[in-house]
Amino acid sequence: MAATTFLFVPGDRPDRFDKAVTSGADVVILDLEDAVGPAAKDSARASADAWLENHRAVVRINAPGTPWFAADAELVAARGVPVVVPKAETPGVLAGFREVVALVETAAGVERAAELAAVPSVTRLAFGSVDLAAELGVAPEDREPFAYARSRLVIASAAAGLAPPVDGVTANLGDDAELEADVRYARRLGFGGKLCIHPRQVPVARAAFAPTAAEREWARRVLTAGDSVSVVDGRMVDKPVLDRARRILGEG
């Protein structure tokens, strides 16, 4: 799963399901967890089930240990759709699903990132900054407290041969500049995707993940220099640098 934009849509708002699909997001996530209150959990699951009869999407289920986990797990198994497992901490739980995005949003999950990434059914790690912030007692919009956690997910994903992890949400819906800055920061750390909570965030996130004009120009100069060891802009160019240049230009 090499998708870049992941859009949540509340599971109790079936009127928004089709709109989410037309948003241009690479992945639509029917959210049965945070976006749905306790009283609406069963109806949200029924709405998702009915829509999945004729459509395909990812489903974020409720966390292991909650009263709704078992029924949610039955839904994704019956429909054969990928699942986002929140509060991912236990490899054995993830192994019970066919295709999993493991949402790491607890301190225990961060410390077990490598174990979670190594589960055969896990196709991607994602970072839940808001829940982790609450556990750590820090502000979710402050990047510094999460540098370690983000790096753990990046390294764990690479070691397991997974696509780069997906960064957490930007809660400020009215500031595209903040969203773009968050994505650019995550991309610098090695992330390859973004969780979005509104359709308007999708094109901004996608554009921010694209290589900049300066990066593309650098990559062209590197590849023009040839495959042998050379120097570009005063820096040595060898195979790893060439490989990065090809990735930037979509050639590798």
pLDDT tens digit sequence for 190-233: 999 999 999 999 999 999 988 777 777 777 777 777 666 577 67
Residue extents of the structural domains in the chain? 5-210, 214-248
pLDDT in tens, 108-147: 999 999 999 999 999 999 999 999 999 999 999 999 999 9
Written as one letter, the residue type at 120 is P
Q: Name the pLDDT band for 103 (thresholds 50, 70, 90).
A: very high
> Spelled out in words, what is the top-level CATH class assigned to the domain 5-210?
alpha beta
> If we measure between CA atoms, which residue out of 11, 17, 125 comes closest to residue 68?
11
Percent of the chain at pLDDT > 90 equals 81
Binding-site residues for Mg(2+), in ranges, read 105, 131
| Run of H or E including 213 | helix 213-224
Annotated binding site: 60, 105, 131
Pairing mode, strands 5-10 and 193-196? parallel
Predicted local confidence at residue 124, as pLDDT? 98
pLDDT of 252 > 60? The answer is no
Half-sphere exposure of 24 (CA within 13 A, CB side): 9
Residues found in the chain: 252
Q: Which residues are annotated as a binding site for substrate?
A: 60, 105
